[in-house]
Amino acid sequence: MTIILTGGVGKAEVADAVERLAPAGVEVVVCNDMDAATRLRAGRADYFLGTCQTGAGASLGVLVGLMGSAVCHTFGRSVPSEDEVNALLDQGKKVFGFAVDQIHAVTPKLAGAIAART
């Protein structure tokens, strides 16, 4: 089972978007940033999808500080291609940030790519 945590201002909407996709082998959990960092560091979760108004700062601020920038990536307001998402996952990125107004464009790409790896 792959566990995706959601956080930030759009955490419920991201969780709903992942659940609507119903990816097999994926569980989604809504949480706050501190809980997410604790779960990721302990190996009790696999990925974090965070949102803020711009996708550039607050979506990952706590996670970058506690997890390190090597496993974090923010898309800001952009919508990544599937190839970009897969390349980031190949690099070991586990924590992703994006703008709250891009939830419906970014979440399916991230959740689909993560589910394909389960």
Q: Tell me: the pLDDT tens digits for 17-49?
A: 999 998 889 999 999 999 999 999 999 999 999
Q: How many CB atoms lie within 10 A of CB 60?
A: 27
Which stretch of DSSP H or E encloses residue 2? strand 2-8
Compute the C-alpha angle 50/81/58, nearest 5°.
20
Judge: domain 2-116, CATH 3.30.499.10: no
The residues spanned by each domain of the chain are: 2-116
95, 8 Cβ separation under 8 angstroms:
no
Answer yes or no: is pLDDT of 59 > 70: no
Token output for 43? 């190996």
Mean pLDDT of the chain: 93
Q: Tell me: the pLDDT tens digits for 69-118?
A: 999 999 999 999 999 999 999 999 999 999 999 999 999 999 999 999 98
- The whole-model pTM stands at 0.94
How far apart are alpha carbons 97 and 9 in whole angstroms? 11
